[in-house]
C-alpha cells in the first residue's frame, strides 16, 4: 500500500490542476 503522504501529494496536485482550469 502507498503511504498517505503520497496520496495527499497526488490529491493536492489534482486539486491544483483543477483550480488552474
Q: State residue 19's pLDDT score.
A: 94
In terms of pTM, does the model score above 0.75? no
Q: How far apart, in Å, are the Cα atoms of 16 and each of 1, 10, 13?
A: 24, 10, 5
Summarised one tens digit per residue, pLDDT across range 1-21 is 668 899 999 999 999 999 987
Q: State residue 12's pLDDT score.
A: 97
| ∠ CA 4-2-21, rounded to 5° | 65
Amino acid at each position: 500500500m502507498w503511504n498517505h503522504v503520497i496520496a495527499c501529494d497526488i490529491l493536492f496536485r489534482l486539486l491544483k490542476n483543477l483550480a488552474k482550469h
